[in-house]
Chain A
Amino acid sequence: MNAWMQRWLRESRFAGVVLVLALLGLWQVSALYWIETPTWPPVTRVLEAWWANTADGTLFKHLLATLWRQMLGYGLAAVLGIAFGLAMGYFRILYNLFEPLVEILRPIPGPAYLPVLVLFVGIGHEMKVVLILLASFFPILLNTYSGVRAIDRVQFDTARTLGLTTMQTFRDLVLPAASPQILTGMRISLAISLILAILGEMIVSNDGLGYFTLLAQRTFKIPDMYAGIFTLALFGYVLNRLFLLVEARLIRWHSESSGRV
């Protein structure tokens, strides 16, 4: 490898984009000339299917369905996780009472709740929302109370000497001080909520990207199946990007003061 090439690889992030394009090219070539099977359609066929499903609004309809149940479950998990996390982190008694329970429940993989939920909540919209909620709740809860517990004694002493009440201390100290960790929990749960939304839709549903993708496979519309997965990749990427943008705005002070920009 010559010096110019080495420098380019080291300094340009464009290399990663080139790799993605090269892999897509490899897929195209391999599907056209090497592996001729309906299960491995060329990228161009997938893009055609994607465009067809986008133009007639099918993908958008399913995307909205997924987004709606994901955000409902995730939003509820965030509200509950932050509220309980703040309380558990701040009040020693609550921490001692609930921490062992959390430690037992936390390792249960989200999908394991599914059979139980089907018994109690049925197989409808609510089941999926509760499933997403349960799986997204624990990372947010855990990160929130760890964040609160990591707040330095001196900061609480400062709040007391300045005469802040408990509510004022929550507003001006506890919530902002724990916000970097709370956001870490929320970022982890964002990915989890999408996984669980898709899983729920694949198991029982009549809309959503998980449903669309699985149905395409079952009806041998293979390009549609890949188009569904493409859409999911894009959707997940955009969600994460948006989250990082919001996070950077909210805790600019944190990345600046800890020296990682």
Chain B
Amino acid sequence: MASYLEVDHLGKRFSAHGRSAFEDISFSVARNGFVALIGPSGCGKSTLLHIMAGLSAPTAGAIRLKTGPVTGPRSDMMIVFQQYTKSIFPWKTVLENVMLGVKYQSQLPRPELEALCRAQLDLVGLGRYAHYHPYQLSGGMQQRVAIARALARRPDILLMDEPFSALDAMMRVELQDLLLKLWQELGLTILFVTHDLDEALYLAQRVILLSASPGKVADQVAVPLEYPRQQVETRSEPVYLELRERLYRAMVAQVVAGRAAAEAEVRA
């Protein structure tokens, strides 16, 4: 079967200092799949996601979605950023923020467009807050606005760049479960970047571990745990613990290798 979303020998070299963010990364995501991408900071996870979202160009390789290459932002693949305080525009109300992604493109009359956006807000549990401004909402609620705004464009794929890493532990639990629910109900395909091993294992069907700078695919594991997952029970299942140890070892090995490489560079 031809893959749905495919990253093909992708590389990114920064012209400013000649270093690579990552080199020769290849993996694919199946339709309706949930893949998590983890790696130490500086391995180019965010850069990779930016390129996948069509916001910048790779220096090697290509991204293919469905039938063709990705050359720029497209409405069937939406990115959700980590910095919700910035990606949600503070001068717009919650509803206006969600409308922003559809009001210029859609042919629908305004009342119907508004109804569509309100429906997305209901999905993320913010139906009551349509006329609030972002500063009146908590961080978790602001990130939900960003998710609703992405959903309003009816995407097939969500690219998520450490979306919950700025939230406190309780908000995180809530948003993780909300995301899993949306994924299953809407038939989304999700690529989720995080630096949190537990978050990756809890959410995804497959976890890809990137190595330290320049990033490469260091390991890939399937996570054969049933959905719906349970915050406490799932995290104590033997399979979960086994995979966690394996990935944790691999991650530590990456850190050690990275440190050795840095020391070698200093000596050279």
Contact = CB atoms under 8 A, between A and B. Distances in A.
Contacts of B87: 154-155, 157-158
Interface string A142-154: 0000000000101
Contact of B89 (A163, A173, A256): A173
A164 interface: yes
A257 interface: yes
In the A-B complex, list the 9 residue pairs whose CB atoms are closest, starting with the nearest.
A257-B135, A162-B101, A176-B91, A154-B86, A158-B87, A253-B91, A152-B86, A161-B73, A257-B90
Contacts of A173: 89
Interface string B128-146: 0000011110000000000
B55 interface: yes
A257 B50 CA distance: 28
Interface residues of B, number: 25
A103 interface: no
Q: Chain A contact residues: over half helix, strand or loop, or mixed?
A: helix
A161 B53 contact: yes
Contacts of B100: 162, 164, 172
Nearest to B135: A257
A163 B133 contact: no
Contacts, number: 62
Interface of A: 152, 154-155, 157-158, 160-165, 168, 172-173, 176-177, 179, 251, 253-254, 256-257
A155 B153 contact: no
B41 to A, nearest CB: 17
B51 to A, nearest CB: 12
Nearest to B79: A161
Interface in B33-84: 50, 53, 55, 73, 75, 78-79, 81, 83
Contacts of B104: 163-165, 168
Contact of A158 (B50, B81, B135, B153): B81
A228 B104 CA distance: 54
B105 interface: yes
A163 B75 contact: yes
A177 B91 contact: yes
A20 to B, nearest CB: 36
A163 B91 contact: no
Contacts of B91: 176-177, 179, 251, 253-254
Contacts of B75: 163
A157 B55 contact: yes
Contacts of A176: 89, 91-92
A161 B105 contact: no
A164 B78 CA distance: 14
B153 to A, nearest CB: 7
Nearest to B150: A161
Nearest to A179: B91
A152 B83 CA distance: 10
A162 B75 CA distance: 7
Nearest to B133: A253
Contacts of A154: 81, 83, 86-87
Given A154-B81, A160-B73, A163-B104, A253 B55 contact: no
Contacts of B101: 162-163
A158 B149 CA distance: 11
A158 B89 CA distance: 9
A256 B137 CA distance: 12
B129 to A, nearest CB: 15
Contacts of A158: 81, 86-87, 89
A49 to B, nearest CB: 48
A154 B92 CA distance: 16
A161 B81 CA distance: 11
Contact of B86 (A155, A161, A168): A155
A168 B100 CA distance: 10
Contacts of B81: 154, 157-158
A81 to B, nearest CB: 21
Contacts of A168: 104
